[in-house]
Amino acid sequence: MSNANNDIRKEAKQANVAHWQIAKRLGCAESTFCRKLRDELSPEDKAKVRQVIMELGAMKRGGGNDGSMREAFGM
């Protein structure tokens, strides 16, 4: 496993946010997002990803739209 972006990986895991949820919010495929994590992200990209993690984590805690399968299929 790569050591790049371990901080982002840990933050997502602690917030119980899946990579596919982050990717969807960023407008890319999960596979693309995972490939981007192989190399260290720029500070600007990290800030964007952190913002998405915080938003999705807050939605999960608040009972809002949490990126579930229903959301994935537009239901």
Q: In this structure, what token pair is assigned to residue 33?
A: 């997002």
Q: Considering the domain boundaries, does residue 19 fall inside one? A: yes
48 and 13 in contact (C-beta within 8 Å)? no
Q: In this structure, what token pair is assigned to residue 49?
A: 């990803």
Which of 5, 14, 17 lies closest to 56 in space, CA to CA? Answer: 17
Share of the chain above pLDDT 90, in %: 73
Q: Considering the domain boundaries, does residue 1 fall inside one? A: no
Full residue range of the structural domain in which residue 33 is found = 6-72
Q: Say whether pLDDT at 68 is over 70.
A: no
> What's the pLDDT score for residue 58?
93
Sign of CA dihedral 12, 50, 74, 33: negative
Q: What is the CA radius of gyration of the chain?
A: 12
> What's the pLDDT score for residue 75?
44
Q: Considering the domain boundaries, does residue 41 fall inside one? A: yes
Q: Considering the domain boundaries, does residue 35 fall inside one? A: yes
- Give residue-wise pLDDT tens across range 4-22: 999 999 999 999 999 999 9
Give the Cα separation of 71 and 30 in Å (integer): 15
- Give residue-wise pLDDT tens across range 18-49: 999 999 999 999 999 999 999 999 999 999 99
Domain count, the chain: 1
